[in-house]
């Protein structure tokens, strides 16, 4: 995999985000220059001047997993509201500029609450057009899961064969993607636009219901992007599938070196961000 030395990546955090260190480690292993940036650092006050940051200084940004603000009200809602009020215009400019913005698990919930996913095509924040609701099992699901690339209009994976399957574990209680409008209509629109990035599948890559789809999302949708392909969200955790040793079956296939499926995905995202910059 290509070694990068200067690609600055912001990993946004507030109280309750808890996958930021794992994501930073994964991105650093791929040669990027990630920095965990608290929202207050981007707001420009209540922090020393030398700790203040500008979103525009980063080539890409991620909203990581966790339970931001305790997931009170609903998952991701408080973090999204604080982003909107603190750096809304800066985030809109970041997206309009074509920079990569990714949300993983709780981050997917945040980007949905901001109205950036499924998105309107112009990078503007707005009222939500989708929600990530409580899993059909009505419980927190922490389990090995698999996803398949749907062959849509997501530039980082443009060269991947459709159906490429990745191991990426899940850990969420609110991951059922529900889209606004009549049942099925918005999903068909996303499919036609190539905005479905990943679907839940069985280990052999075929469609499957629970437990392989851990939340009950219609169409087994596990990840989507905006119309321009530079904002994406996914429920499973690629940073938790970075090394082969993180797979539950590593003792069976004997693979302990190299990089895992999550690394392949994150490397593709970084490669695209690097080319754009």
pLDDT in tens, the chain (277 residues): 555 658 999 999 999 999 999 999 999 999 999 999 999 999 987 889 999 999 999 999 999 999 999 999 899 999 999 999 999 999 999 999 999 999 999 999 999 999 999 998 788 999 999 999 999 999 999 999 999 999 999 999 999 999 999 999 999 999 999 999 998 999 999 999 999 999 999 999 999 899 999 999 999 999 999 999 999 999 999 999 999 888 888 777 666 667 899 999 999 999 999 988 7
With the C-alpha atoms ordered 128, 129, 135, 140, is the resulting torsion angle positive or negative? Answer: negative
Domain assignment present for 3: no
Domain assignment present for 269: yes
CATH of the domain at 102: 3.40.50.880
Residue 46 annotated to the active site: no
Domain assignment present for 166: yes
Residue 153 annotated to the active site: no
Domain assignment present for 1: no
**Of 22, 141, 174, 239, which residue is the catalytic one?**
239
Report pTM: 0.95
Domain span including residue 76? 8-276
**Of 174, 225, 237, 272, which residue is the catalytic one?**
237
Nearest CA to 250 among 150, 169, 163, 172? Answer: 169
Domain assignment present for 2: no
**Of 19, 22, 105, 113, which residue is the catalytic one?**
105
Domain total in the chain:
1
Domain assignment present for 270: yes
Tokens of 257: 């070196």
Q: Are the C-beta atoms of residues 152 and 163 closer than 8 Å to each other?
A: no
Place of tokens 């609701």: 133
Nearest CA to 166 among 238, 272, 253? Answer: 238
Beta strands in 161-214 (DSSP E): 165-167, 170-172, 174-179, 196-201
Residue 3 annotated to the active site: no
Tokens of 16: 């309750």
Domain assignment present for 184: yes
């Amino acid at each position: 995999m290509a070694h990068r030395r200067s690609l600055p990546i912001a990993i946004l955090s507030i109280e309750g985000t808890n996958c930021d260190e794992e994501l930073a480690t994964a991105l650093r292993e791929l040669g990027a220059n990630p920095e965990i940036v608290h929202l207050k650092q981007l707001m420009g006050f209540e922090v020393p001047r030398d700790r203040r940051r500008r979103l525009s200084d980063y080539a890409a940004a991620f909203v990581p997993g966790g339970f931001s603000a305790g997931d009170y009200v609903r998952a991701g809602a408080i973090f999204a509201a604080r982003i909107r009020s603190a750096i809304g215009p800066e985030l809109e400019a970041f997206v309009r500029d074509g920079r990569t913005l990714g949300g993983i698990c709780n981050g997917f919930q945040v980007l949905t609450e901001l109205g950036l996913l499924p998105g309107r095509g112009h990078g503007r924040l707005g009222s939500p057009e989708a929600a990530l609701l409580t899993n059909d099992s009505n419980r927190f699901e922490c389990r090995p899961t698999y996803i398949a690339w749907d062959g849509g209009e997501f530039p980082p994976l443009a060269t991947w064969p459709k159906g490429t399957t990745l191991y990426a574990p899940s850990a969420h209680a609110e991951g059922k993607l529900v889209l606004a409008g009549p049942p099925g209509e918005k999903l068909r629109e996303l499919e036609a636009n190539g905005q479905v990035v990943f679907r839940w599948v069985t280990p052999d890559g075929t469609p499957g219901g629970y437990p392989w789809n851990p939340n009950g999302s219609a169409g087994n949708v596990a990840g989507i992007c905006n119309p321009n392909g530079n904002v994406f969200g996914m429920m499973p955790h690629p940073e938790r599938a970075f090394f082969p040793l993180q797979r539950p079956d590593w003792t069976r296939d004997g693979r302990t070196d190299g990089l895992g499926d999550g690394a392949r995905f994150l490397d593709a995202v970084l490669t695209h961000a690097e080319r754009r910059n």
